Amino acid sequence: MYTEDEAGPFQTVPYPGQSWQPEEQPEQQAHEYIRNGTAKMLTLFHPASGEVHVQGVTSSSNAVIHPWLKEELTQILGSLPEAPTLDPEANRALWCLWQKGLAQPMALPENLPALRMLLTWDNLKGHHTPEMVNWLIEHGVMPLYTPLGGSWLNMAESIQRILIRRALEGQHPETPQEIIDDLEAVARGWNQEPTPFVWGGKRALRRQRSRQRRHALGGSGACTLRPIRARKTMIQKWQSASQMTH
């Protein structure tokens, strides 16, 4: 599975950040800057290996994203082992499995190639372009769209936050090309020793154990460490008194 996303725009302004400086000599940023254009970052991320493909651009229109994504996917697909041969019915069932439960499943062509890759990206209008979607399916790539309001499900956003912070914090780029160079340089450094991403992980397990030890309260996100005894209603008190008299 691969995930794709676009980040930006990033302006040619001073970016706050921490740095090592001599005592009582803090690093200073200019209070004036020139709006000299913006830069964006196209990201294709492989969570299982941690490898990231980054392209700095000044525009993220379909005319820019689609050719870049096709080129990157073509190279990746060329390096993958051949997909196992399945009969047409089993192959279609495999494609349809990833659309199970969707309110609006994608219309699949009659003749489907072998499924070779899953591509997760945001539910933007440009990502539904028929020409691009048909190209993906023809090359065995199944696009999976994150739901509206659920862009956090795209792990490309997580790697982007890391790369952007490393590239721009404490910097004052004066041109969009400087921003592009910094972002791409940080991505090359990341790929020298990439870190795989896993859904959930230890933090999710800790949160799950924490929720099991707490008792949620209505009306807010507050919790208690022990259950609160519910007050009896007048009817419950009357029923308890009746049972005692009988």
CA-to-CA separations, 206 to 46, 60, 143, 154, in angstroms, rounded: 25, 38, 32, 22
Sequence letter at residue 30: A
**Model confidence over 173-188: pLDDT tens digits?**
889 999 999 999 999 9
- Measured between alpha carbons, how far is 224 from 165 in angstroms, rounded to an integer? 36
Q: Which of 7, 151, 126 has its CA nearest to residue 67?
A: 126
Return the pLDDT at 208: 76
Which residues of the chain are modeled with pLDDT < 50?
none
Q: Under DSSP, is residue 106 helix (H, G, I), strand (E, B) or coil?
A: coil
- Is the alpha carbon torsion for 210, 211, 212, 214 positive or negative? positive
**Model confidence over 23-70: pLDDT tens digits?**
877 777 777 777 888 999 999 999 889 999 999 999 988 999 999 999
Q: Are strands 2-11 and 38-46 parallel, antiparallel or unpaired?
A: antiparallel
Structural domains of the chain, with CATH: 2-80+116-192 (3.30.420.10), 212-245 (no CATH)
149: left (phi > 0), else alpha (psi -120 to 50), else beta? left
Return the pLDDT at 76: 93
- Measured between alpha carbons, how far is 182 from 8 in angstroms, rounded to an integer? 14
DSSP result, 31-94: S------EEEEEEEEETTTTEEEEEEES--SHHHHHHHHHHHHHHHHHHSPPPPP--HHHHHHH
